[in-house]
Amino acid sequence: MSTKIVVYEKPTCTKCRQANKLLKECGVDYEKINYYEKPLSANKLKELVKKMGISARDLLRTSEQVYRDLKLAKAELSDKEIIDLMVKHPDLIQRPIVEKGSKAVLGRPTENINELIN
């Protein structure tokens, strides 16, 4: 039995829709989680960051107004502090995040998801 793919998304996001299209075209069984309706916990975000092999800062959406309002570009914050901010402000989370078992990738660009399919 293979591990199911889980896509953490915002349904109105173009990259999230592209990820869904790719997975459907490949005939992959997957689950979608809208993290605006079902918020990600700090522990889950920490786990996803670890599975992706990145820092929490690498997962920040720098184009969002809340990023500028909180002056995060110049703020020196720990991964825990950044994750706590992402929990409080989900717009700060890059998307989609695609998880399969012990691995996860940022589906930006969409081709990154192929790592989990093949």
Question: Can you give the pLDDT at residue 56?
Answer: 97
Question: Can you give the pLDDT at residue 1?
Answer: 40
Q: Which sequence positions are flagged as catalytic?
A: 13
Q: Which residues of the chain have pLDDT under 70?
A: 1-2
Question: Can you give the pLDDT at residue 3?
Answer: 85
Q: Which of 74, 51, 54 is nearest to 62 (CA)?
A: 74
Rounded distance between C-alpha atoms, residue 101 and residue 96, angstroms: 16
DSSP line for 48-86:
HHHHHT--GGGGB-TTSHHHHHTTTTT----HHHHHHHH
Q: Choose the CATH number for 5-117 among 2.40.50.1020, 3.40.50.300, 1.10.10.10, 3.40.30.10.
A: 3.40.30.10
Is there a contact between 8 and 96 (Cβ–Cβ < 8 Å)?
Answer: yes
0.85 surpassed by pTM: yes
Taking each helix axis as running N to C, give the angle between helix 79-88 and helix 42-52, from 0 to 180 degrees, rounded to the nearest 10: 120
Rounded distance between C-alpha atoms, residue 90 and residue 80, angstroms: 15
What does each C-alpha distance from 103 to 4, 6, 51, 106, 112 come to in angstroms? 12, 11, 5, 11, 12
